[in-house]
C-alpha cells in the first residue's frame, strides 16, 4: 500500500490533503466511550486489550481522522513494573511512594515484554482493525523529564518544587533517575513499533516549566537519547510539550521528525523557531467549546498561519477537553480536509 498522508506529512512530503488527528481523541468527550467504560479504572481498561482496541478505534470511525493513537497513558510502563502508580479520576497520575532517594532507583527495574503484553496485544488488535483503511497507529510514551516530574512530585503539580529541588540540589541523582526512565521509555517505544505502531509521539508535557538553561541541562539529553535509540526503526517521531514556545529551538535539537506546537505560539512563528521541521498543531482546545462556527473559524486561522508549505499535521494545541461536543470536532476534520493547503498536490 502507498504511505498514508499522515506519515508523508510527518516527513515533510507533499500530500493529498492536510492530515488531522486530535490528542486525547479517544476519551470522555465521546458518548460511546463513556457508555463502554462505565465507572471502572482507566488502568483496568488499558489492561483489557479488546476494550482498549475498541476505545482506540472509536474516534477513527466517528471523526475520519488520519491516524489512530493508542488508548494508553504515559504512566503505564511504571504501573507495569510495580512502582506504585494509579490514575485517580479528577487528579490524574498519583504515586503512592514518590521517588526521593537513591534507594528508589531499585524500584525502577528494567521493563520487559511480559510487563507490557497487554499493550502489545492491544496494538496487534488495532493494527488488524486499521488494515482495511491503511490508517496508521501512533504509539507514544512520556518523555523522561515529564515522567520524572510525576514520580518525584507524587502527582500533577503547578509549582514543580520537588523536581526542581532534586535537579539543582542533587543533579547526579537526578541524572541517574533520568537514565533509568530513558531506558524504560526506549524499551516501551520499541515494543510498540515492533507490533505495528507506524509513528511515535513523545509527550514532554511539563517541559514548559523549565528555563532554557534547565531544559538544556536536565531534559534535552534524555530526550535526545530516546529519539536516537529508536532512529533505526525508521518511523517518524513527534515531540510535544505544553507552554514550550520559548524552548522550541532547543527541543528541535532533539531531532524528532515533527515538532508539536501548542496554541501559545502562532504556527508560522513556530515553523520559524524549529527551522523548517514538520509541525503539528495548534488550535486552542478551548476554541472547540463554543460550537462549530467558532471552532471552524479557529481551524481556518491555524491553516492560514501554516501556509502552503509541506509538513503540517493539524491538531489541537493540547488534548481534547472532556466537554467538547464531538460534532464540533467532526466539523473541524471536514474543513481541514477540504480547505487545508499545506503541501497539497
Active site amino acids: 24, 28, 37, 73, 150
- Cβ atoms < 10 Å from Cβ of 300: 16
Cis-peptide into 282, omega within 30 deg:
yes
- Residue partners of 306: CB distance under 8 A and separation at least 6: 18, 267, 268, 271, 279, 312, 314, 340, 341, 342
Torsion of CA 186, 192, 194, 196, to 10 degrees: -150
Task: Say how far apart CA 201 and CA 140 lie, in whole Å.
Answer: 5
- Residue partners of 133: CB distance under 8 A and separation at least 6: none
Task: Say how far apart CA 203 and CA 84 lie, in whole Å.
Answer: 21
- Residue partners of 168: CB distance under 8 A and separation at least 6: none
Per the CB < 8 A criterion, the answer to whether 195 and 117 are in contact is no
Amino acid at each position: 500500500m502507498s504511505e498514508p498522508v499522515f506519515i508523508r506529512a510527518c516527513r515533510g512530503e507533499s500530500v493529498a490533503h492536510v492530515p488531522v488527528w486530535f490528542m486525547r481523541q479517544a476519551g470522555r468527550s465521546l458518548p460511546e466511550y463513556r457508555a463502554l467504560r462505565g465507572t471502572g479504572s482507566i488502568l483496568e481498561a488499558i489492561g483489557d486489550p479488546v476494550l482498549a482496541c475498541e476505545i482506540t478505534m472509536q474516534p477513527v470511525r466517528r471523526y475520519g481522522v488520519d491516524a489512530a493513537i493508542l488508548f494508553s497513558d504515559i504512566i503505564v510502563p511504571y504501573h507495569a513494573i510495580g512502582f506504585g502508580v494509579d490514575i485517580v479520576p479528577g487528579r490524574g497520575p498519583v504515586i503512592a511512594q514518590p521517588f526521593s532517594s537513591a534507594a528508589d532507583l531499585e524500584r525502577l527495574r528494567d521493563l520487559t515484554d511480559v510487563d507490557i503484553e497487554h499493550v502489545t496485544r492491544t496494538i496487534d488488535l488495532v493494527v488488524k482493525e486499521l488494515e482495511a483503511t491503511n490508517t496508521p497507529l501512533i504509539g507514544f510514551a512520556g518523555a523522561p523529564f515529564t515522567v520524572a516530574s510525576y514520580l518525584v512530585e507524587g502527582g500533577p503539580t503547578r509549582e514543580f518544587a520537588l523536581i526542581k529541588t532534586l535537579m539543582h540540589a542533587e543533579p547526579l541523582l537526578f541524572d541517574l533517575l533520568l537514565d533509568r526512565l530513558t531506558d524504560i521509555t526506549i524499551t516501551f517505544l520499541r515494543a510498540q513499533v515492533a507490533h505495528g505502531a507506524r509513528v511515535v509521539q513523545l509527550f514532554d508535557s511539563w517541559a514548559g516549566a523549565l528555563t532554557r538553561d534547565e531544559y538544556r541541562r536536565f531534559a534535552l539529553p534524555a530526550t535526545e537519547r530516546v529519539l536516537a535509540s529508536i532512529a533505526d526503526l525508521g518511523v517518524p517521531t513527534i515531540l510535544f510539550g505544553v507552554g514550550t514556545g520559548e524552548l522550541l529551538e532547543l527541543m528541535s535539537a532533539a531531532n524528532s521528525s515533527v515538532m508539536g506546537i501548542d496554541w501559545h505560539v502562532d504556527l508560522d512563528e513556530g515553523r520559524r523557531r524549529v527551522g523548517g521541521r514538520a509541525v503539528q498543531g495548534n488550535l486552542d482546545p478551548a476554541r472547540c467549546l463554543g460550537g462549530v462556527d467558532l471552532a471552524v473559524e479557529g481551524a481556518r486561522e491555524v491553516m492560514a498561519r501554516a501556509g502552503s508549505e509541506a509538513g503540517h499535521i493539524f491538531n489541537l494545541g493540547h488534548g481534547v477537553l472532556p466537554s467538547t461536543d464531538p460534532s464540533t470536532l467532526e466539523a473541524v476534520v471536514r474543513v481541514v480536509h477540504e480547505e487545508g493547503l499545506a503541501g497539497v498536490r
